[in-house]
Amino acid sequence: MTSQTAVPLVVLRSAGTCLAFDTSGEGLPRVLHWGADLPDAALAGLPGLVPGPVPPNALDEPWPLTVLPTSGDGWLGTPGYAAHRAGGAAAPRWDVTAELDGERSLRTTARDGATELVLGHALDEHGVLRVTLSVTNRADPEAAEVLDLGALRALMPLPSRATEVLDLTGRWCRERSPQRSALQDGTHLRASRRGRTGHDATLLLTVGTAGFGFRTGEVWSVHVAWSGNHEHLAERLPEGAGVHSAVLGGGELLEPGELRLGPGETYTAPDVVFVHATDGLDGVSRRLHRSQRSTATHSNDPRPLVLNTWEAVYFDHDLGRLTELADTAAQIGVERFVLDDGWFGSRRDDHSGLGDWVVSTDVWPQGLQPLVEHVKGRGMEFGLWFEPEMVNLDSDLVRAHPDWVLGPKAGHPRPSRQQHVLDLANPEAAAHVEGQISALVSDLGIDFIKWDHNRDLHEAVRTDAGGVDRPAVHAQTAAFYTLLDHLRAAHPDLEIESCSSGGARVDLGVLARTDRIWTSDCNDALERTAIQRWTSLLVPAELMGTHVGPATAHTTHRTLDLSFRLLIALQGHAGLEWDIARCTSEELSALADWSGLYRELRPLLHSGDLVRADLPDDRGLLVTGTVAADGETAAYTVLRTHSGTSVTPGLVALPGLDSTRTYTVRVRREAGLPAVIQHIAPAWWDEALGDGIPVHGALLAGVGLPLPVLGPAQGFLLHLT
C-alpha cells in the first residue's frame, strides 16, 4: 500500500463545520475529525493526539478509521466496500492518491490491481458534506472478468458523546413519524427494499448528544440521496471505530447479482449527504435548506398557488364542471390548475388504462385543448397528472407489449392497486413513454406534471440477455432519473412534482430533478401538522406541497375548521385540493383573503430559516416559524393539536429572533382566527389583531408571549416586522 499527497493533514472548512483527514503513510486517508470548526493551532496537533491505546486481545497497533473502512483497516463492522471476482474474496491493498480539489473538497483515487475507486468529500458553503463514490473494473477486456459489487457505502465517525438516535418511520397517510432510541452496541440499520424511498423511510438518520431537540444539542445526520433501495446505519462496536466511538453512514442497498461490472464499466453510488450542527435539528435543517436553495436545479420564481382536481372530482371528468372549477379558482387567486388522474385511455377508475398516455376521446371528445385554453385564458398555468412507471394489465400498452412488464420469467408479481411496474430499463419502453409525455407537453403547452408512483416494487427483477432473472431496482431507478432528465432537457420550463402514493418518494435524488414533493396523500390538517413538521427536517417549505382540503378529510373522515386548514397549508408550497365551486360565499371570501396572504408572505416563507420551538408534548402546543436571514421579519404558526392538563399555555418564546430588534407583532386574520376557551384574552392580543404591538426581540425570544387558550385543532399566524 502506498499513499501520495502534497499535504499530510487536509482540512476542509465551511460555515462552522470542519473535516480533518490524515493523508500521510499508507492506505486510504484517515478521518481525524468531523464536527465543529477548530482553530489552526488545534488542528496542527490533531494527528499526534488521535492514535489511541492498544487494549488486550486486540490488534498490535492502533488502527485508524479510513474514508472507506473495511476489515483490512481494522474495522470489523459494516464495511464501506464489498465485492468479489468469480467468488474470490476482495482483500485490497490500495495504491492511493489524495489531493485537494478546490478549497473544500478532497478527491481520493485508490487502485488495487484491476479495481479503481474514486472518493470525493466536498463541503459546500453551508457546511453540508456530500460524499461521492465510484468503482471501475479495470480488468483486461479480453479476460472478460466481472467485478460483482456487494456494497459501496459512505461512513463517517461519531464521538462518544453521540448517544441518542432519531429516525423516522411511517405509512401511507402518516409519513415521517419520529422514533428515538439509545445508541447501543451493534448496528442501528434502516434498510428499504421497496424499490422506492418508502413511506417508512427515515429521511434523515440522526445521532446526537443526550436530549437533543430542535434548538439544542450537538447532532450528526446522514441522508442517502437515492430513490431506490437504500440503507442508513449507525453502528457501534465494543472496540469503537479507531479512536472514534461509532460510525454513521449509508448507501444504495444492492441485491446479490444486481451490480456486475464488466471490464471498463463504472458504478457511481448515490451521493451520501452528512450534516453536523451544534444547535440541534434546526441547525441541520438550516444547512440543508440553504444548500438546496443554492442549487441551480430549482426555480427562483415565486411558487404559484395550486389547485389540484383530485379531491374535487376524482375520476368524474367533465368539461363543464372543470371549467366552472377553473373559474372559481381564478376568482380566488389560484395560479396553477392541475388536472389529476382519469383523463387518458380507458381510465375511468383505477382498474384499467394506466400506461396509455393518450387523451380519452370518450371523456374528452374535443381533446384537452378546450380546458387548457380556458385555464390559461383565466391567467393560470396548466398541469397534468401522469404515472409513467406503472401500467394496468388491462391497457393497450400491455396488450401490445406484455414483455414490458417488470417481473420474473415465472409470471407477474403480485398486483398492488390493480397495477404493475413498467420496465423502464427496457430502452424501447422508456422511449415509448417519453415520446407520449413529451408530445402532450408540446401539443398542450403543459407547464407542470404531477408525477405519481403508486406501489412498492415486489419481485423487481428483469430477464437479462442470457435469460437470467436479475435484481432490477438499481436499473429501474437509474432509468427513472434518465427519463426525468430527458424531459427536463427537452422542456426546460416544465416543472415536475414527485408524488408516490403521497410522500413515499422524498429524497435529494429525486429533488435534484423535480420542483417539489407531494408531502402526503393525507390532507387532514391535524395529521399534516406532524407530517410537515418532520418532512421539513430535509425539505424546505417551497419544495413541500401543502394543500387545503375539504372540511371532512376523505382519508380520516375528521372534520376541521377552515381556519385551521388554511393555517397548516401556509407551511409549504400552498394549494387547494377541494371542490371550491361548491363553497359558500363566506368560504370563498376567506380563501381569497388567504391566497392574498400567501402571495404576500411567500418571499419570506420560501427563503427564511425554519425554527421550531422545543415544547413539552403534553401541552399539545406547536410553534413553528420562519425567520428572514437578516432577522428583520418572521412568521410563526402557533397551534394546539390536543388539550392538556395545563389550564393556560403560559409564556411561550418565539425562537430565532434578533434579540437587538424591536418587532411589530400582528395576528394575521387572513390565515383564520382560532376558537378559544377563555373569558379574557391576553393583554397583547387585541392590539395585535389590529395594527400590531411593538415588542422587543429579547423579550419575545427570551421570555415569550402569554398565549390565548386555544381549543384542540386551533391556531393562528403571527407576523413580525
Active site residues: 452, 521
Contact 368, 444 (CB under 8 A): yes
Q: How many CB atoms lie within 10 A of CB 587?
A: 15
Q: In sequence order, which residues have a C-beta less than 8 Å from that of residue 596 and are 6 or more positions away? A: 333, 670
* Distance, CA of 697 to CA of 653 (rounded, Å): 10
Instruction: Tell me the sheet residues that pair with 381.
Output: 336
Which residues lie closer than 8 Å to 96 by C-beta, 6 or more apart? 1, 2, 3, 4, 26, 27, 28, 29, 108, 109, 110, 111
> And the C-alpha cell for 367?
381533446
Do residues 159 and 278 make contact, with C-beta atoms less than 8 angstroms apart?
A: no
Going from the C-alpha of 630 to that of each of 15, 537, 608, 618, 626, the distances in angstroms are 16, 21, 9, 34, 12
CB-based contacts of 172, cutoff 8 Å, min separation 6: 199, 501, 502, 504, 521
| Among the listed residues 422, 441, 430, the one whose alpha carbon sits nearest the alpha carbon of residue 495 | 441
- CB-based contact 511:543 (threshold 8 Å): yes
Q: What are the grid coordinates assigned to 126, written together?
A: 453551508
The string of DSSP codes covering 603-666 is HHHTTSEEEE----GGGTEEEEEEE-TTSS-EEEEEEESS--S-SS--EE--TT--TT-EEEEE
Pairwise CA distance, residues 453 & 395, whole Å: 17
Cell numbers standing for residue 567: 393555517
Region of residue 406 (left: phi > 0; alpha: psi -120 to 50; beta: else): beta
Compute how many other C-beta atoms are within 10 angstroms of the C-beta atom of residue 99: 15
For residue 353, report the phi and psi dihedrals to the nearest 5 degrees: 90, -15
The whole-angstrom separation of Cα 589 and Cα 67 is: 59
* Count of positions (residues) in the chain: 721
Q: Whose grid coordinates read 441522508?
A: 223
* CA pair distance 35, 218, nearest whole angstrom: 9
**Partners of 31 in beta bridges:** 21
Phi-psi category of residue 554: left, alpha or beta, with phi > 0 → left and psi -120 to 50 → alpha: alpha
What is the DSSP-derived secondary structure letter of residue 428? H
∠ CA(434), CA(439), CA(445), 5° rounding? 125
Distance of CA 634 to the CA centre of its chain: 24
Enclosing H/E stretch for 267: strand 266-268
